[in-house]
Amino acid sequence: MTSYDSDKLAAEIGSQLEMLTDKSTKGIRTFRRELSRRLASEPSDFVFLLSLQLLETKETVAPFFAYELVQHHREASRGLNPRKLKQLGKGISSWGEVDTFACYLSGPAWREHQVPDSVIAAWARSKNRWWRRAAVVSTIPLNNKARGGQGDAARTLQICQLVVHDRDDMVVKALSWALRELAKRDSNAVKTFLNKNKQSLASRVVREVNNKLKTGLKNPHKL
Residue 223 predicted with pLDDT over 60 = no
Where does the pLDDT of residue 2 fall: very low under 50, low under 70, confident under 90, or very high at 90 and above? low
At 3, the pLDDT band (50, 70, 90 cuts) reads low
**Each residue of 24-81: pLDDT tens digit?**
999 999 999 999 999 999 999 999 999 999 999 877 889 999 999 999 999 999 999 9
Domains of the chain with CATH codes: 1-79 (no CATH), 113-223 (1.25.10.90)
User: The whole model's pTM is what?
Assistant: 0.93
Interatomic CA distance for residues 223 and 187, integer angstroms: 23
Of 138, 146, 218, 123, the C-alpha closest to 178 is 138
